[in-house]
Amino acid sequence: MSLARRVSGLLCCLLLVACGESGETRLAVQSGTAAPRLVTLSPHLAELVYAIGAGDQLVGVTAYTDYPPETLSLPVIGDAFNLDLERLLLLAPDMLLAWDQGTPQHVIDQLREHGYQVEVITTTSIGDIGEALRRIGSLTAREVAAEQAANEFESAIDGLAAEMARQPAIRVFYQVDARPLYTVSGAHYVSEVLALCGGENIFAEVGGLAPPVSVEAVLERNPEAMLASTDAGPQAFDQWQRWPALAANRYGNHFLIPANEIARATPRLLVAAEGVCDALRQARQNREAYRDD
């Protein structure tokens, strides 16, 4: 028998086993007697799985999954756009978790056509994080741990919001990237974080989640503070030095926020929110000091 035929036969056997086990496991999961083998299709979904104590059920992840550190030892099945279906088959997952804003619909449809159970998780707003934890908890039979994790996150966010409630408003430009120039709209959770800290997103009204903007539009709105993730690099704000009259330049208000915290809708967003609030506290102090001179 040729090598090609042997490989083909092995894959056929694996497919039959995977389909059979998957069907049995789904019935067991529905009756609450077993926990499914999971593959996540976005780095932050793996983090959410670990946040509810279901990391032992995770058997595969996508590229750039690096938190918590335990995920680094898991098999990588590709990225959001290109999945290794043969490797996925060998992992024999019972359920795949997809991201509503990041997993292309055609990828979800393809996986379902191959017989996989794909659950789509929404994480667009801060409020979605707690609900995502609860949803994954329900899917993995970890409801109690998920409810606790969600309550702790929501309580901490509420406490931070109450602490910042009386802070004076300050106009903020959040820079996703410089070339091309992107920001976040009011529909993005990062804009919610800014608002929680008393920041006014100067592009809150623009459509889409991460719209492109022009330099002229930024200058016209004259932000008093500029924020970016560390992914933008240490020179993130260099281009703006050509306009010394820009309020953020006059006040010296340029702040970098750790990328892994601000870029992922997980309980670690609380750490990012605290960092943003600290940055905007400093920005207000710089503004007042400039005005007093």
Domain spans, the chain: 3-151, 167-292
Q: What CATH architecture is 3-151? A: 3-Layer(aba) Sandwich (3.40)
DSSP state, residue 75: P
Look at residue 40 in the predicted model and tell me its pLDDT: 98
Among residues 136, 198, 123, which one has the least CA distance to residue 162? 198
Beta strands in 122-263 (DSSP E): 170-175, 199-201, 225-229, 254-257
Residue with tokens 């619909």: 105
Q: Is the bond preceding 168 in cis, omega lying within 30 degrees of 0?
A: no
d(CA 92, CA 215): 49
Side-by-side strand order, sheet with 95-99: 58-60, 38-40, 95-99, 118-121
pLDDT of amino acid 80 = 81
Q: What are the tokens at 203?
A: 């592009």
Joined together, the tokens standing for residue 98 give 């997809």
Q: Which of 3.20.10.10, 3.50.50.60, 3.40.50.1980, 3.90.245.10 would CATH assign to domain 167-292?
A: 3.40.50.1980
How far is residue 22's CA from residue 223's CA, in Å, rounded to a whole number?
Answer: 53
Going from the C-alpha of 48 to that of each of 132, 187, 220, 266, the distances in angstroms are 8, 21, 39, 6
pLDDT tens-place values along the chain, 293 residues long: 433 333 333 333 333 333 333 343 343 344 344 789 999 999 999 999 999 999 999 999 999 999 999 999 999 999 988 999 999 999 999 999 999 988 999 999 999 999 999 999 999 999 999 999 999 999 999 999 999 999 999 999 999 999 999 999 999 999 998 788 999 999 999 999 999 999 999 999 999 889 999 999 999 999 999 999 888 888 899 999 999 999 999 999 999 999 888 989 999 999 999 999 999 999 999 999 998 77
Spatial CB neighbours of 35, under 8 Å, sequence gap ≥ 6 = 29, 54, 57, 140, 141, 142
